[in-house]
Structures are given as C-alpha cells and as structure tokens.
Amino acid sequence: MFSPSVDSARDAGGVAGAVLIPMRFVWPYGGISVYLSGSFTRWSELLQMSPVEGCPTVFQVIHSLAPGYHQYKFYVDGEWRHDEHQPCLSGEYGIVNTVLLATDPSFVPLLTPDIVSGSNMDVDNEAFRRMVRLTDGTLSNVLLPRISDADVQTSCQRISSFLSSCTAYELLPESGKVVTLDVDLPVKQAFHILHEQGIPMAPLWDICKGQFVGVLSALDFILILRELGNHGSNLTEEELETHTISAWKEGKWTAFTQGFIRAGPYDNLKEIALKILQNGISTVPIIHSSSEDGSFPQLLHLASLSGILKCICRYFRNCSSSLPILQLPICAIPVGTWVPKIGEPNCQPLAMLRPNASLTSALNLLVQAQVSSIPIVDDSDSLLDIYCRSDITALAKDRTYTHINLDEMTVHQALQLGQDFYSSFEPRSQRCQMCLRTDSLHKVMERLSQPGVRRLVIVEAGSKRVEGIISLSDIFKFFLG
C-alpha cells in the first residue's frame, strides 16, 4: 500500500541535524496485532505497538521524530486504519493522520497549500480538527475540541428527560438475590457475611417493626473500626460479638442516625439518582408494599448509579452522535477529580497514598475526603493499585481483625490480605480500571456501566502516572447538576 520510495521533503518533515523528539503514538480502539508506520519510516517499516497495562484496548509506542510535519497510519489486524479523532487528511495514500512538532513555542508551522486546502481535508467532525504542538515529547498547547454551551445544555437536558421518563422497573433483573441482615445480628457475624458473600453492603431488617430500617455498608465497618481503635486498644473478637447492629444504631454509632433512604418501583430514575447523590450513598433499596400502611414490604432491588448509567448507555448507544457532548474527551469537560494543571480546575484535590502508608491513614482519608477509593502510587505517582472502602471486608478473612493494629499495618499489607478474596469475587484487573484523558465521555460511560466498575483512574499512557480519577457520581453530577 505504501511505497518505500516515497520520501518527499513534506513527508519526511525532518530538519537536518535537529534533535529528535520522543513522540508517543496511541491507538485506543482495540485489536490483536497493532503496528505504526509513517513518513518517518518511509512507509517501509512497521513499528509494533504494545497494549497499555490495565487498558487492553489501548496500544502505544514511543518513537523519536525530527521537528517538522509527519504523516502516519496504523496497521490493525491486517488492515490499514487511521484515527478519526486526530488530525488527518486525504491524499495519495488514502486518509492519514498528521502531526506537527516544534522545538519552541515561537515556532510557526508552515503548511503547504495542499495541506490546508479544505477540499483536500477528510475530517469527520470539524470540532475535532486540532493541531498538536510538542516541545518535550508530551502534549502541550493542545487545541481541544469544543462545543457550545447550548449544545452542552441540550445534551444534559436530553439525558435528564430520558431519566425522568424511566422508572425503577427498568433496573430490575430477570433473576437475582439480595442479602439482608437482621438488626439484632452481632456486628462480627455481619462482618463475616459481607466478606463471604463478596458484597460491600446489605439492607437491614427489623423483625419487631416488620420494616427495612437501614443499610449496613463497608463504610459502616470503617467507622466502627476507627471508633474502637480510638479507644486505645486493638480490636478483639469479643468486642464485635457483644455488640449487635441495633446496639450500634441506638447508641454507639451516631452515623446510624441518618434517615433510611429508599425508593419505590414507580419512582423515576432521575429521582433515584438524585437521592444517591444528595445523600452520599452508593445504593437505594427499591421497596414495594401492596398495603397502604407500608406493611409487608418487598425488597425488589438495590438501585445504583451503575445500573442507571447502563440504561443511559443502552438507550443512546446507537444515537450518540445526537449528543455532541458524548464525543468530547474527558479532559475537555469539567468532570472528575484531577491532579493540579490537568483538566479543569476543581476545589477538591486528588487523594493518593504510597503503599507503605498505614491502614489508619487510608481509612481516615476515605472518611474525611468523602471518597470511595484512593489510588496507590509509587514515588513517580505511577499507579500500583487502588484501595476501596469495600476492601475493609477482607479483614474478616481468618479473623484478621482480631490480631492487627491499624496504625502498624500498611496499605500494601492490607491489599495482600485480600488477594484471595478478590480472585473469588472480583478479578484484580476489574478493581483497578484505567482510562486516558483523551478518551471520549461516551467511552468512559460505557466502561463505568460494566458490572463491578465503580471508577476509572485516569493515567498517562505508558508511564501509568495518575492524572485523575472519574467515578460514577462524577458523571451524574455533571449531567444532573
């Protein structure tokens, strides 16, 4: 397809004697065998691209280029492809991607007439045409795709209207089970049940009242462990055995004073999503009662933002082009929490910990920062793992909580304890899901709607340096305000 004899000054784009600049090429659309070729290889050599760890559909390769103008294309599973969301043009070799490298910010690109000619351009969406200027091998001065505020508002209104038109019945599975706990159950036993069932929370049933009265979650156990730890002694099995859930509710634990948040099967999905966001909870029990006084309630489902997002993705999957905002990269919209100087500014810094941090510091951070997970990074801020609220249930394994000190145990040790637990209920790769800041909002939403995926850590391709984190609640806060 590409002739090795083609080496025009425009295609080579290099500057004699110039210092080569490392350039990262990324193919984020999956495949089995992915290669890169371009004018910088005289179209005669294929550079093999490697999948990014944790992002199996993202391939990348780093190749040093001379400053100037270059064309390139991807060879994916035996077919030549181009990235429609990167600068491209149509020429004698079909549609190819282009890149312009400069050595300093004062460089002004000189494009030949056939490059800037509108008739010679073959770009799917004018909003996505951009020029990338690189100074040190990383993206800088990138002109991100933009849409008008009116289009953003229209997209959000369409999603809001869709959610208002759907009821909780849309979330009900054809079959399934929901584990409930009696409020008179000892805390120790409840702790073990969550661990053995591989679930992060369970609704609470009061047999005397004949009603569901609350939800016991992994955060509850974090607060219980912190309170017992503040009394200056290690947690003992006897302490958990002598305290029932109702005992903590009535006196020991003030967090139980929050009212029980529930919804009915006829409540619309927007109302349910707002209940989750406004109350800072992860699930809302869907409860139905055929009697007017609410007696004999039936627990139908535990509604979550993941299930609601799945409904959105399913409905708009074949018409995503009608919502311009879904095509934007996540770094171009105010969603998620980012490290400084990446993405849109926000008032909440990104919480990260080193693997040698104490378990106490991790639990305190989860509570004080009001987050559900914390990226665990090395000294270069590259992602190693993630510690979540639900990881606390791993301490129930072999009654670990009876012989540990939260101040002395490290986050790394706590995660090691849970390795067998994760392999039984949740693959390790499923826990630590990643994405790139250039991924579209639509792609991120599809990933977050998958079972077990509650957040995506935004990393730099190759280095896995953490750039931010985007959660289910971030998506719904953006759409619903």
Residues 238 and 212 in one domain: yes
What average pLDDT score do residues 413-427 get? 61
Residue 113 maps to a domain: no
Residues 337 and 472 in one domain: yes
Contact at 8 Å (CB) between 140 and 305? no
Residues 325-342 have pLDDT tens digits of 888 889 888 898 888 754
- The DSSP call for residue 26 is E
What average pLDDT score do residues 386-398 get? 80
Contact at 8 Å (CB) between 355 and 376? yes
Residues 170-207 have pLDDT tens digits of 999 887 788 899 988 888 788 888 888 888 889 999 88
Least confident of 221-230, 231-240, 296-305, 336-345: 231-240
Residues 81-132 have pLDDT tens digits of 888 888 888 766 678 887 776 544 333 333 333 332 222 222 222 322 232 2
pLDDT over 60 (residue 303): yes
Q: What angle do CA 469, 309, 145 make, to 5 degrees?
A: 55
What average pLDDT score do residues 254-281 get? 84
pLDDT over 90 (residue 293): no
Contact at 8 Å (CB) between 466 and 377? yes
Interatomic CA distance for residues 363 and 365, integer angstroms: 5
**Which CA distances in Å does 266 have to 178, 203, 271, 296?**
20, 20, 10, 18
> What CATH number should be reported for the domain holding residue 88?
2.60.40.10
Answer with the one of 101, 117, 142 that is the final residue of a domain: 101
Residues 210 and 356 in one domain: no
Percent of the chain beyond pLDDT 70?
A: 73
133, two tokens: 């200027």
What φ, ψ does residue 239 adopt, rounded to 5°? Answer: -65, -40
Question: What pLDDT, on the 0 to 100 scale, is given for residue 430?
Answer: 57
| Amino acid letter, residue 39 | S
Residues 58 and 174 in one domain: no
Number of domains in the chain: 3
Residue 439 maps to a domain: yes
pLDDT over 70 (residue 395): yes
Residue 129 maps to a domain: no
Confidence of residue 418 (pLDDT cuts 50, 70, 90): low
Beta bridge partners of 234: none
Residues 231 and 345 in one domain: no
Q: How many helices (H) and strands (E) does the chain have?
A: 15, 22
Question: Which domain range does residue 397 map to?
Answer: 324-480
Residue 202: how many other CB atoms lie within 10 Å:
21
Answer with the one of 276, 308, 340 that is the final residue of a domain: 308
196, two tokens: 């053995």
Residues 356 and 476 in one domain: yes
Q: Is the dihedral of CA 461, 463, 468, 469 positive or negative?
A: positive
Residues 304 and 339 in one domain: no
Residues 394 and 457 in one domain: yes
Residues 131-183 have pLDDT tens digits of 222 223 333 334 455 667 888 888 899 999 999 999 999 999 887 788 899 98
Question: What pLDDT, on the 0 to 100 scale, is given for residue 240?
Answer: 60
Residues 296 and 361 in one domain: no
> pTM for the full model?
0.67
Looking only at the bridges linking them, the beta strands covering 337-338 and 94-101 are unpaired
Residue 124 maps to a domain: no
CA atoms within 13 A on the CB side of 85: 13
> What CATH number should be reported for the domain holding residue 346?
3.10.580.10
Look at residues 463, 201, 156 and name the one whose alpha carbon lies nearest to residue 334.
156
Interatomic CA distance for residues 471 and 306, integer angstroms: 10
Interatomic CA distance for residues 74 and 122, integer angstroms: 17
Residues 215-232 have pLDDT tens digits of 888 888 887 777 766 554
Residues 67-92 have pLDDT tens digits of 878 889 998 988 888 888 888 887 66
Residues 302 and 220 in one domain: yes
Contact at 8 Å (CB) between 137 and 20? no
Residue 200 maps to a domain: yes
Average pLDDT, the chain: 76
Residues 302 and 407 in one domain: no
Answer with the one of 264, 284, 308 that is the final residue of a domain: 308
Residue 181 maps to a domain: yes
Residues 352 and 226 in one domain: no
Question: What pLDDT, on the 0 to 100 scale, is given for residue 317?
Answer: 81
Residue 164 maps to a domain: no
Question: What pLDDT, on the 0 to 100 scale, is given for residue 135?
Answer: 29
Residue 294 maps to a domain: yes
